[in-house]
Structures are given as C-alpha cells and as structure tokens.
Amino acid sequence: MTSHGLRRYRAQTFVHLVWATWQRAPMITAARRRMIHRAIAGQARKMGCVILALGGMEDHIHLFVWFPPTLAIAELVGRAKGASSYIVNSSGPAAEAFKWQGGYGAFTVGPNQVDIVARYVKRQSQRHATGRLSEALESYALEPSD
C-alpha cells in the first residue's frame, strides 16, 4: 500500500463497506459483475480511496478501502451505488431495473487487520459456498432492509 493516496495524509483509515441489492434479489449476475465492480472502483478512486479489495455475491457487495480523511462515508457509498446502478440500467434492456437497498454497513478496520479483511472480501464466493462467514462482516448484508 504505497500508492500516492496513502502518502498525502497521515491517516490510517480503513473502511469495510457492505451493501445489498434491492430486496436481496440475486441481481449481480456474472454478466453484470464486472461492470458493477468497475463502476464502484472507478468512483472510489475518483474520490481518493485506495481499493484494497472488492467482492461479493449475487445479492451484495463488499468494498474494502483506505479512506481519505476528507471524505464522508455516505458520499462514497452514494456515488458508488449511483454509478453502478446507472451503468447497469443504461447497458440495455433488462427484465427488472437494477437497484440497491437504501442502507449499508460500514466497519473500520485496524491496520493490523487489513490483510485478513482483504482476503475475506476477495474470497467471498468460497466463504459463502462453505458457510465460513464472519457474522460481524456479513451481518449487515444478510439483513433485509427498506
């Protein structure tokens, strides 16, 4: 983690974000996953974040970032959700519009836990397949809201 963003600030703010699709519908298909991830990553980078891991399942996303101290979490999540919804909905006709739930989970992570959380996020499909999930890291994504 020696990117330019980390050297500008004396802050070690690592945030693990989790949010779900509308009504937990499995809307993140293989065909959509890449464009959704690109849109989310693009927004995060534009806002000065350093992406440490990005992953998820058909019904939720995990984004783990180094967070600049000048940015509000709600602003990042709102823009990431908006950009990803826009790209999916403008990519062609769909049986149902792509939409995220209104809420999200945000968890700060200590510097000595960065590698553990990054691995957790990157290995979402294996963890869900085996049921080896962290209740603390999945709790928000697993609860329906809105």
Instruction: Give me the DSSP letters along 52-73.
Output: EEEEEETTEEEEEEE--TTS-H
Q: Cα-flanking dihedrals φ and ψ of residue 41, to 5°?
A: -60, -40
User: Is 103's pLDDT higher than 80?
Assistant: yes
User: pTM (2 decimals)?
Assistant: 0.81
Mean pLDDT, residues 107-114 taken together: 93
Give how far Cα 40 sits from Cα of 12, 57, 70, 142, Å.
Answer: 21, 15, 19, 20
| Cβ atoms of residues 85 and 52 within 8 Å | no
pLDDT tens, position by position, 116-137: 999 889 887 654 455 554 555 5
Q: Which one is predicted more confidently, 74 or 30?
A: 74
Residue with tokens 């802050």: 11
How many Å separate Cα 20 from the centre of its chain?
Answer: 9
pLDDT tens, position by position, 16-70: 999 999 998 999 998 899 999 999 999 999 999 999 999 988 999 999 999 899 9
| Cβ atoms of residues 101 and 22 within 8 Å | yes
- The whole-angstrom separation of Cα 114 and Cα 107 is 12
Residue 65: which residues within 8 A CB-CB, separation 6 or more? Answer: 14, 15, 17, 44, 49, 50, 51, 52, 76
